[in-house]
Structure 1
């Protein structure tokens, strides 16, 4: 299934003007990289994949709108999946995109 194009446009709007921004289709989604590090991705069904510090995950996972990201049945440390229900407002999307941006901005450029 292809990524959600409406979500991708919303993410693009949030990230507009961010230095070092690129996007790339990957794993059925559209990933947004900052200085070579993927911060967030638009997935299928309106879900947002967010890169975070693994130490922060327990505080942000609620088991409903925010869950650990799984790929091929395995949890991906440092990634959360935020459902479309948790992204209905621009403020909610900005919060989650901001978390992904903050994490990758703390990493050395690639």
Structure 2
């Protein structure tokens, strides 16, 4: 359990950090914190979270080489900008039982992340 708390602390500090106001964001800045747990390329090594490349339009829990939580696999969600925004705002509320613990409470930061994921 201790490693889980440490992973959550790292994720919260990394993924919740917004880019500088007015900074040009090509997606790398918006997703840089997510890379602490997720691969950002389709052929990237898996971390504690699944690869994010091509997530928009993909059914939740669909990557064959990642061990998703039963809750995520059974969610029936297909990722869209709207479902990603809600999930990032409060993963446990959208999918009770998910292993994703990182919340992104700032709507502007969520938009940057979702826009970057949509552009992949």
Question: The TM-score by the shorter chain falls in which range?
Answer: under 0.3
TM-score (norm 2): 0.26
Larger Rg: 2
User: Per residue, is there more strand in 1 or in 2?
Assistant: 1
TM-score (norm 1): 0.28
